[in-house]
Amino acid sequence: MRNEPPGARRKKAHAQGAAAVTAADPLAPARSWLASRGWSPFPFQEQVWSAYLNGKSGLLHAPTGMGKTLAVALGPLLEEVARRGEGGSRKRERGLKVLWLTPLRALANDTAEALASAVEGLGLNWSVELRTGDTAQSRKRKQRVDGLPNILVTTPESLSVMLSYPDLVGEAGGKTPSSAAGGPAGPSPAEPGEGGTLSPLAGIRAVIVDEWHELLGTKRGVQTELGLARVRALSPSVRTWGLSATLGNLDEAMRVLLGAGAPQGVMVRGQGRREYQFRTIIPPDIERFPWAGHLGIRLLPQVCEAIDASNLTLLFTNTRSQSEIWFSSLLRASNKYMGKVAIHHGSLDRKLRGRVEEAVKAGELKCVVCTSSLDLGVDFAPVDQVIQIGSPKGIARFLQRAGRSGHQPGGVSKIVCVPTNALELVEFAAARDAIAAEGGPVDVEEREPLVLAMDVLVQHMMTVAVGGGFDERRLLAEVRTTNAFNALTDDQWRWAMDYIHRGGPALTAYAHYARATQDDPPDGLWRMSAASLVRNHRLNIGTITSDASIAVRMANGKVLGSVEESFIGRMAPGDIFAFSGRVLELVRVRDMTAVVRPARRARGNVPSWQGSRMAISTHLASAVRVRLGEAHRGVYRGPEMKAAEPILRLQDAWSTLPQPGELLIEYATTSEGHHAFVYPLEGRLVHEGLAALAAWRFARAEPRTFVLASNDYGFHLLSPTPIQFREADWRSALSPAGLTEDLLACLNAAQLARRQFREIARVAGLIIPGFPGQGRSNRHLQASSELFYDVFSEYDAGNLLLDQARRQVLERQLEYRRLAGALERLADATLAVKDLPCLSPFAFPLWVDSLREQLTTEKWTDRLSRMLVTLETRAGGPPAGRAACSKGKARGTP
Amino acid sequence: MTTVRIGDHELGLLAGRGVVRWSDRTLYVADLHIGKASAFARGGVPISGSVLEATTADALKRLTAMIVQAETERLVVLGDLLHAAGGRDPRTLDLLERWRWEHRGVDVVLVRGNHDQAAGDPPSSAGIRCVDEPFDDRGLTLRHHPLAAGTGTATLAGHVHPAVRLRSPGDSARVACFWLSKGQLVLPAFGGFTGMGEVRAGAGDRVFVPAEGVVVEVPVVVSTVARVGRSAR
């Protein structure tokens, strides 16, 4: 278990410690069990136990994982020991007592083992079981028929699926449970919980949410909130405890977890801060170090040295494609890595991942190349070093990754930073500043909770409708106890009811297409019971987590893993990509499966996973601004800044290094057109919004088309016609006035919302899930989310899912709060405008690493005619080498 | 008006996604997929009644506009008039029949497509003559499914919902198109609730896109450019 010292998992015979203890001190059984293993409790653990025994809910946070599991697990167990001490029966009481939610399936196993050993240690005979997407169907059915275990470890999705089984929830109307409509269960288990109530969930005493910071701010977090509200309605006295890493907004995190209107929770701070040992690999030849790009592969020899000097290294990359590159490069670097280096990322097949995790525990590996799939979770106790390839993007994430090494008590977390381009040296220096900040807690980022995610709401309503039905007013009240839907209006609720009833506001001509239907009075419960709807709905519950995934399969049938549909959708048969450490050629895509074969060419285009690109956090961005300001004044502190000095000086000489309070704008002209580069240093998402906004506001004055691109440092406008803006033009283009209206107006053109609709359509049940072997029968019911978006926009403009897509673009994709803050800051900034003969070191990465997002206000026919001209030119002769000359110039100049 | 000539036939391409043969003013459209939204709703997909009503009504309204524009008295649907058996709800069929009543002077022929096979012929009260492919229409072969190798005769077809991706520096859009290949003219899908399939035009093919009231020919290099662009990414 990751929260205990090594060796804890071994099941030692323990000295019946619990039984011997008197009831005087309720914490004594825990102390004596720990003492029997030679440990003593941390003060924060006792604090949580006492708070729990006093009936409190709360949140336990700590920078790292030490002892957190036992802190929250032992409360309910001590309570049970005390109950029995008071003359309660020693016979095992049936029914679920403790529900443990974890965001990661991979965590569930370790957690269950730890809980089982604690149960045994306290002399209890409670049963502990798992229920996740990986649990066998037969096991899950047994849990439905024979009753749930006393302690259940599960995921938010699995809880949601549980809530869709009437025999697990009990009838909302308080009637005798009957077998599930469409469910395969035989006679229903008339499982009487305690107190004569009928719901098998009514006896839950504690819900524990592990890694709450990972859920907060996501749709799975909203799904968790709704699930918790359901559990609280069924078991009103339940206590909720969350475990979280350090966050900038812990109080808010706790309020969201406990629900609106809950009594004040108890905030407990865990074990103190950890020691970090921080080293950056400095590129030996900075003059030739790339200004752009993300591979950093030229530091491979130094990375190999670092790996060789340690026992077990986790090598983190920011994207899956990077992890593929590093994995294959390491294998090519030396034969000694054969069988000693493994790859682990979210889209690999679960079995492969499981095998890697086993090999790590068995000490067979030297290095695991991974992405955020290993940010949290599985305890790899022997890890003694973490290598971070590329910018960590945020301080919290950086700390979390660093914390994966040196896990033993008193251990030092060793992290080696590998820059992949020159500017990342500055980011590492800035991250080091934040970690080394003297005194007080480390200044880390906030996670903003999501509100009013209508797709998750309608999915939950369907879940409850399938799981025994609901009374409309009672469910509305329950839903409003969540932070996410505390502000839900009656109109929004009305729409959601219409949506689950018949897809939208009533139109009598089509009333026979009812989905959820209402029972006759007096109960008047809403239910959804048609077998096909029930089945499709349960399949859809898991979709909050993942993009529609396409299985990647070799022609001989071997499954390699899965990739997002959007990724495969961009490729044609014959295209080459790297996946799962192999270079593959796409043969065909059929029935949600991509058939591949080993590619004949040695090197492939590396798949680019746009979805997983993270933006630099506000905290890190402002630390970077400080460092650049220092550099402008000639101050270069630390090895990273000293290494980056030649390039920063070049930037300063050709253009300038923006100081805090200054906004740099560079103009340049290439054969591609006329460029404006703007550097607010606010992170990629904010820049995407700023770019769209500025382009739209410029184009409002004079119709024209821009090519937009953004990265973490700034954004880029490219126009086929000269850009001649005065300072006043920039001021009004970047003015905070009318932000929301203008953003929404330009969004429509940019079609960002249409893309957001992909996920919404799946969660809200518009996409009938494909499942193996059944692909064809549903075919006439399948349409792309984009088509739904277009059709709804045209014919059902009041659909709140459209509204949500637009809000999601604002809140999630453009980080509206940050954007507004950035504009306020820029309004006070002085402008530094530079006219450059060629691209500067800052401009170059923007130019090459461009996410192309086009926005236009010109009439479609004008655009069309220009495209035609281009095509005709090309058809008439060989295409001009349009990009090559400017690229060559920029690369060659330093 | 953009006109193409296949064999002896002068064919006008209409921006409303139809083709008119000038010799007898026959109007051809393909892939209406009427009742698709209804079929989805019946299959449990949450689509509002307003969408059900509007997608059908809109398709019929646009059809009316083209009939008026081409002053035609004969309309041929090149397959997939109805989307699925599940879409044959009384309200949708009622809209269709009412539309037929308004245009009772127009002779309507359906060349059955794959969706029509599953959905069944429209009710006889709609007065639509249904024939199987290939159907010889005064020297013009009518099919739902185009043939990859061409038919060797002047042919009109549908089924693939052809589209091309147009690009200029920094701009890109997928547009429904007419695709003329090997003497075979494939029409864009007419229905509003239909997807698109990008075509891979070969040498000698011609591609036309409807845009704001006109139909423009696009150089066929388009599809090669699109493919190059994709693999370069």
Predicted confidence (pLDDT) per residue in A360-416, tens digit: 878 889 999 987 666 555 566 678 899 999 888 888 778 778 877 776 656 778 899
Number of Cβ pairs < 8 A linking chain A and chain B = 172
Q: What are the structural domains, with CATH classification, of chain B?
A: 2-232 (3.60.21)
Residue type, B113: G
Average pLDDT over residues A552-559: 80
Residues A683 and A814 in one domain: yes
Q: Mean pLDDT in runs of 10 for chain B (233 residues)? A: 89 93 92 91 85 88 89 92 87 89 91 92 90 93 90 90 76 82 93 84 87 82 36 26
Name the domain boundary from A383, A402, A436.
Answer: A436
Q: Hey, are the CB atoms on B193 and A783 less than 8 Å from each other?
A: yes
Q: Hey, are the CB atoms on B219 and A605 less than 8 Å from each other?
A: no
Name the domain boundary from A242, A269, A296.
Answer: A269
Domain count, chain A: 5
Q: How does pLDDT run across A805-831, given as a tens digit for each residue? A: 888 877 776 678 888 999 999 999 999
State yes or no: pLDDT of A878 exceeds 60: no
∠ CA A316-A810-A756 to the nearest 5 degrees? Answer: 70
Q: Hey, are the CB atoms on A792 and B51 less than 8 Å from each other?
A: yes
Residues A555 and A420 in one domain: no
Range with the lowest mean pLDDT among A121-130, A274-283, A730-739, A794-803? A274-283
Count of residues making up chain B: 233
B58 CB neighbours in chain A (<8 A) are 794-795
Does the residue A4 lie in any domain? no
State yes or no: pLDDT of A788 exceeds 60: yes
Residues A128 and A208 in one domain: yes
Q: How does pLDDT run across A275-306, given as a tens digit for each residue? A: 788 899 998 877 666 665 555 677 899 999 99
Residues A430 and A458 in one domain: no
Strand spans (E) along A429-575: 517-518, 526-527, 549-554, 559-564
Residues A424 and A476 in one domain: no
Region label for A152, one of left (φ > 0), alpha (ψ between -120 and 50) or beta (otherwise): beta
Average pLDDT over residues A500-528: 79
Residues A401 and A458 in one domain: no
Domain carrying residue A313 = 275-436
The shortest CB-CB distance from B218 to any of A512, A515, A871 is to A871
The residue of chain A nearest to residue B54, with distances taken between CA atoms, is A795
State yes or no: pLDDT of A432 exceeds 60: yes
Q: Hey, are the CB atoms on A787 and B193 less than 8 Å from each other?
A: yes
Can you tell me which residue has the tokens 């095998």?
A355
Q: How does pLDDT run across B57-99, given as a tens digit for each residue? A: 899 999 999 888 888 889 999 999 999 888 888 888 989 998 9
Q: Hey, are the CB atoms on A507 and B47 less than 8 Å from each other?
A: no
Which residues partner with B5 through β-bridges?
Answer: B10
Give the 3-state secondary structure of residue A319: coil
Return the percentage of chain A with pLDDT > 90, whole number: 32
Residues A509 and A536 in one domain: yes
Closest-CA distance, B26 to chain A, in angstroms, reads 28
Does the residue A3 lie in any domain? no
Does the residue A505 lie in any domain? yes
Does the residue A644 lie in any domain? no
The residue of chain B nearest to residue A778, with distances taken between CA atoms, is B43
Phi and psi for A352 in degrees, rounded to 5? Answer: -60, -45
Region label for B62, one of left (φ > 0), alpha (ψ between -120 and 50) or beta (otherwise): alpha
Residues A325 and A200 in one domain: no
Nearest to A764 by CA among A508, A478, A512, A463: A463
Q: Hey, are the CB atoms on A796 and B50 less than 8 Å from each other?
A: yes
A530 CB neighbours in chain B (<8 A) are 44
Give me the helix-helix angle, A618-632 and A422-436, nearest 10°: 110
Residues A713 and A792 in one domain: yes
Preceding amide of B134 cis, omega within 30: yes
The residue of chain B nearest to residue A800, with distances taken between CA atoms, is B48
Q: How does pLDDT run across A191-227, given as a tens digit for each residue? A: 333 334 468 888 999 999 998 988 998 899 999 999 9
Residues A386 and A422 in one domain: yes
Nearest to A598 by CA among A556, A551, A565: A556
Residues A211 and A307 in one domain: no
B34, B36, B48, best to mutate vs chain A, most A CBs in 10 Å: B48
CB A771 within 8 A of CB A758: no
Joined tokens for residue A235: 């078991």
For residue B135, the surrounding DSSP H or E stretch is strand B135-137
Q: Hey, are the CB atoms on A871 and B225 less than 8 Å from each other?
A: yes
Residue type, A568: I
A500 CB neighbours in chain B (<8 A) are 46
Residue type, B220: V
Residues A308 and A208 in one domain: no
CATH number of domain containing A245:
3.40.50.300
